[in-house]
Structure 1
């Protein structure tokens, strides 16, 4: 299985508890990590057990290379030189993509649990369903059931010959740009969303929309679906609310305008740099 699926999701542990199991523990929305010889690592149970801490909201995530993965929250103060607490954006710059995605999954599961303590229908207390195959919260009064949900969003690299469309969002640091992105509306296909978002944000029409890849994005619970597309018609006219400036940039100009990271937005820009 490891050769095909490195991580196997599961509501219940797939293996006997082991001191080698991975534990993704959060405090104030920051992940506890070990720092060893300049590297950041996810703690195993053998690292956590000696800390004598209380763990809340424990959930099984699945199995990674035949080791159980679990997540939970702590409130205890930990004063160990080799332990730090990092937010996920910082973590993304320090670990490989697989480690980051598993940490993101842990954060998503914990947030889902916290946001569904009470029923959205009758307001009664919810409880975790005892199931080997189904992850769900059930209302103790009316039986309303809710499952983990993901909010799909598109992100697209639009090219015009040897230039790439980049936009400066009002929340970006000064001088930084990225590709166009936005949430999918109910009843909307991904492709239609790509067309709409580009037209709404910068006023141009596009063609040759092609799937690029996807990436979970825990801010707060998105699934980013990446595309490439080509310019068709129109002049750039930003919406002035979300997007403050947008333009076509050459490879040489693009290099200084974005922050390289493991995000799919960065991957799309690097795809352009490599192929144009």
Structure 2
């Protein structure tokens, strides 16, 4: 019988220890107390995450020697499959949860780790704190014209250096459904009404602990009027202009990229 192992993902905020441009899984016999369980792989090996300051990389096994570098999750995501991306996102979020919940939010007492759950427990008032997930919508808006189908893309203020254009996204508010959030965010950010919402898919996004829920929507009415506190620009692009000479779009591996690619393939096939 093949012996099972423990492997550690080593995290430095939004960066991971990598070798050859891919995440480095550090094999160990005993998991440090600071390690947090992420999942179990298909072979039955346990995957843990640990902060880089809590482990001595100089003790890595000989077969894993090489140039270790720390790469950002955003840089890695285009090289990862969905399972790997989910692993890294979960690792980041669980380590951040541990860091941010060292004290009880009700009484201020130092917390203890729950022995079997991803939770912290207050030994004084017994309050349990669990990792929070923040739902966000992300929407590709399609406009059909007499000439060519178009997609709405926006240039965000936070992306001034990259000049990237992407689909609209926003946080779900308390008491709001996902569909209501789509309508509100689109109206607030670009002043448009949309209709015919279709669910696309979802993706965990660890900045800080989001669940991105994707939709396709049809333009209904209105003229673009951007929220200058959020956006630098927004416009409808011909779908066939989304090529190497077109606007810079989000990297592979992101749900924003997947939405844009789906629209390109689906609507181009209709016009070819």
Whether these two folds match at TM > 0.5 is: yes
Q: CA deviation at 1:260?
A: 3.3
Match of 1:104 among 71, 74, 89: 89
Q: Which residue of 1 aligns with 2:40?
A: 63
Q: CA deviation at 1:142?
A: 1.2
Q: Which residue of 2 aligns with 1:253?
A: 241
Match of 2:196 among 187, 200, 208: 208
Indicate the SS of the match to 2:163. coil
Q: Which residue of 2 aligns with 1:169?
A: 156
Match of 2:182 among 169, 190, 194: 194
Q: Which moved further from structure 2: 221-230 or 140-149?
A: 140-149
The structure with the largest helix share of the pair is 2
Contiguous gaps of at least 5 residues in structure 2: 59-64, 268-272
After TM superposition, the structure 1 = structure 2 runs for residues 35-184 of structure 1, keeping only pairs within 5 Å, are 35=20, 40-45=22-27, 55=32, 57-65=34-42, 66-75=44-53, 78=57, 81-131=66-116, 134-161=117-144, 162-172=149-159, 173-184=161-172
User: CA contact under 8 A between 2:9 and 2:49: conserved in structure 1?
Assistant: yes
Indicate the SS of the match to 1:23. strand
Cα distance in structure 1, aligned partners of 2:51 and 2:32: 6
Indicate the SS of the match to 1:141. coil
1:204-234 CA deviation, whole Å, 9 max, x = no partner?
1000001000000001110000000001111
Cα distance in structure 2, aligned partners of 1:272 and 1:17: 46
**Runs of 4 or more above 6 Å deviation:** none
Indicate the SS of the match to 1:191. helix
Contiguous gaps of at least 5 residues in structure 1: 1-15
User: CA contact under 8 A between 1:55 and 1:73: conserved in structure 2?
Assistant: no
2:4 paired with 1:18: yes
Q: Which residue of 2 aligns with 1:12?
A: none
Tell me how large the CA RMSD over aligned residues is: 2.2
Cα distance in structure 2, aligned partners of 1:84 and 1:33: 5
Q: Which residue of 1 aligns with 2:16?
A: 31
Cα distance in structure 1, aligned partners of 2:80 and 2:68: 15
The 1:60/1:77 distance shift into structure 2, 3 A limit, reads closer
Equivalent residue pairs, number: 250
Cα distance in structure 2, aligned partners of 1:32 and 1:155: 30
Indicate the SS of the match to 2:34. strand
The 1:84/1:17 distance shift into structure 2, 3 A limit, reads farther
